[in-house]
């Protein structure tokens, strides 16, 4: 079917493609068209919606389906509206055209990350309403801004508000990743995000002389320490039965300093993106890095651009009734779940941080992982199969 033919297209797919055509892309996202679209969806479902502006220009939309026993803790279905930048010249089709090829692959930024999930939530509820189903627990569907740049003005602030508390959340679903094989990826925790900035100061001077105590010598010492740490983690990943979320990742991302090639600079800076594995004690690791800074020489300082606290993963055991319900449904559907720690960072971390269990799950199997990549796509059959999976899962969660 060509992208222009919608005559036999499933309503959910049509809504998905309309959402994908809204270029809610960084930097400086304009969320107004998303708000307009989502309020129209709420209206078509006959459900109440609220918009919260905790920060101007950063809307948080909550669409609510009130349960039979609204005093029970509710279910939160979270997704984010924003998408990462694109390089249009690298795409086969225009990145916000939601072009559908003859195989049913829908190409657009956000197809996997994560406008698919937001629409699947709404279309699942639409199906429940048509089937005249009712559940004990209230279901809130949230659409938040700025997840792709850390959620600072989105979920991070929202979880600390009285408005969030009033939602009375007992359990949350959020995004996962596609899986290239038959299995489905499920994420129950995240590593601890650190963005470190290490400044090395030293003797400046003419580039023709071998000065003592230069910033460059200290910088080299620091880089060696971090890169040796990185090499150890690479070996653990290569030689053990571990996934990307099970080890600490260390990446040198920014080098700054110097003004002219023949001038020894008074200061050089190196930045590392570090994601600490959940078993690593952040306090111990920070002490080690501080020790490296002292060993490098005087005038070497550690700062954090981002320093997340270590957050307890969601329990996947009998203590968590939502997990029992989720796993039971997956078993009934013969879904092969692969549970692991998420390699990146999502809004789930802010939800878990305040003590609410959360699972990251995007029902996309047999699909290459293309989030943030060129030619991001999702096949419409996989999308619709995901809708059937959510139909059983959310029903089960809302009935716990």
Query: Distances in Å between the alpha carbon of 2 and those of 15, 100, 106?
Result: 17, 6, 11
Q: Which two tokens stand for residue 204?
A: 């400046």
Q: How confident is the model at residue 81 (pLDDT cuts 50, 70, 90)?
A: very high
Residue 374 pLDDT exceeds 50: yes
Percentage above 70 pLDDT, the chain: 98
Measuring CA to CA, how many Å separate 58 from each of 121, 144, 354?
Answer: 21, 8, 22
Burial of 42 (0-12, 13-18, 19+ CB in 10 A): buried
Mean pLDDT of the residues in the chain = 96
37 preceded by a cis bond (ω within 30 of 0): no
Mean pLDDT of 244-273: 97
| Nearest-angstrom CA–CA distance, 114 and 104 | 18
Provide mean pLDDT across the span 167-196.
Answer: 97
* E strand or H helix that includes residue 299: none
If you average pLDDT over residues 1-23, what whole number do you get? 82
List beta partners, residue 257: 268
Segments in the chain forming alpha helices (H): 11-20, 32-45, 115-130, 155-158, 162-166, 215-239, 282-296, 321-332, 348-353, 380-398
Distance (Å, rounded) from C-alpha 369 to C-alpha 255?
29
Output the pLDDT for position 270.
98
Q: pTM of the full predicted structure?
A: 0.91
Q: What is the pLDDT of residue 2?
A: 43
φ, ψ of residue 57 to 5 degrees: the values are 80, 5
Task: Decide if pLDDT at 3 tops 50.
Answer: no
Query: So what's the pLDDT on residue 1?
Result: 42
Give mean pLDDT, residues 327-332: 98
Q: Euclidean distance between the first and final Cα of the chain, in Å?
A: 41
The confidence band for 344, taking pLDDT boundaries of 50, 70 and 90, is confident
Enumerate the active-site residues.
82, 147
241 vs 160 pLDDT, higher one: 160
The confidence score (pLDDT) of residue 6 equals: 53
Residue 270's contacts (CB-CB under 8 Å, 6 or more residues apart) are 197, 198, 200, 219, 222, 223, 226, 252, 254, 255, 256
DSSP secondary structure code for residue 253 in this structure: E
Domains in the chain with CATH codes: 11-176+346-398 (3.40.630.10), 196-307 (3.30.70.360)
* pLDDT at 7 > cutoff 80: no
d(C-alpha 117, C-alpha 327), whole Å: 19
Percent of the chain whose predicted confidence (pLDDT) is above 90: 96
Tokens 């969601």 belong to 314
pLDDT at 58: 98
């Amino acid at each position: 079917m060509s992208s222009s033919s919608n005559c036999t297209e499933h309503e959910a797919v049509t809504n998905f493609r309309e959402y994908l055509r809204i270029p809610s892309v960084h930097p400086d996202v304009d969320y107004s068209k998303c708000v307009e679209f989502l309020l129209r969806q709420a209206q078509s479902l006959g459900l109440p919606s609220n918009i919260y502006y905790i920060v101007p220009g950063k809307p948080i939309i909550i669409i609510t389906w009130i349960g039979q026993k609204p005093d029970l803790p509710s279910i939160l279905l979270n997704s984010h509206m924003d998408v990462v930048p694109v390089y249009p010249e690298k795409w086969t089709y225009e990145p916000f055209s939601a072009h559908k090829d003859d195989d049913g692959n829908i190409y657009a930024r956000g197809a996997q990350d994560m406008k698919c999930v937001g629409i699947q939530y709404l279309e699942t509820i639409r199906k429940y309403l048509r089937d005249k189903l009712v559940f004990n627990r209230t279901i809130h569907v949230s659409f938040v801004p700025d997840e792709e740049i850390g959620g600072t003005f989105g979920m991070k602030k929202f979880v600390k508000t009285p408005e969030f508390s009033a939602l009375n959340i007992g359990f949350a679903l959020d995004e996962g990743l596609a899986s290239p094989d038959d299995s489905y990826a499920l994420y129950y925790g995240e590593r601890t995000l650190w963005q470190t900035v290490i400044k090395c100061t030293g003797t400046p001077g003419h580039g023709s002389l071998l000065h003592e105590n230069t910033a460059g010598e200290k910088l080299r010492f620091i880089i060696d320490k971090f890169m040796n740490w990185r090499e150890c983690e690479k070996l653990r990943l290569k030689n053990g039965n571990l996934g990307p979320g099970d080890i600490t990742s260390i990446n040198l991302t920014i080098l700054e300093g110097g003004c002219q090639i023949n001038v020894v600079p008074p200061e050089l800076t190196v930045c590392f993106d570090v994601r600490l594995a959940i078993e690593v004690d952040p306090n111990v690791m920070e002490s080690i890095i501080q020790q490296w800074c002292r060993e490098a020489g005087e005038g070497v300082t550690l700062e954090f651009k981002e320093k997340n606290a270590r957050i307890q993963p969601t329990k996947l055991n009998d203590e968590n009734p939502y997990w029992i319900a989720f796993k039971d449904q997956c078993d009934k559907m013969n879904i092969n779940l692969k549970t692991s720690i998420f390699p990146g960072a999502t809004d789930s971390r802010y939800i878990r941080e305040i003590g609410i269990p959360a699972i990251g799950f995007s029902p996309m199997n047999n699909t290459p992982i293309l989030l943030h990549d060129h030619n991001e796509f999702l096949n419409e059959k996989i999308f619709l199969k995901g809708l059937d999976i959510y139909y059983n899962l959310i029903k089960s969660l809302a009935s716990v």
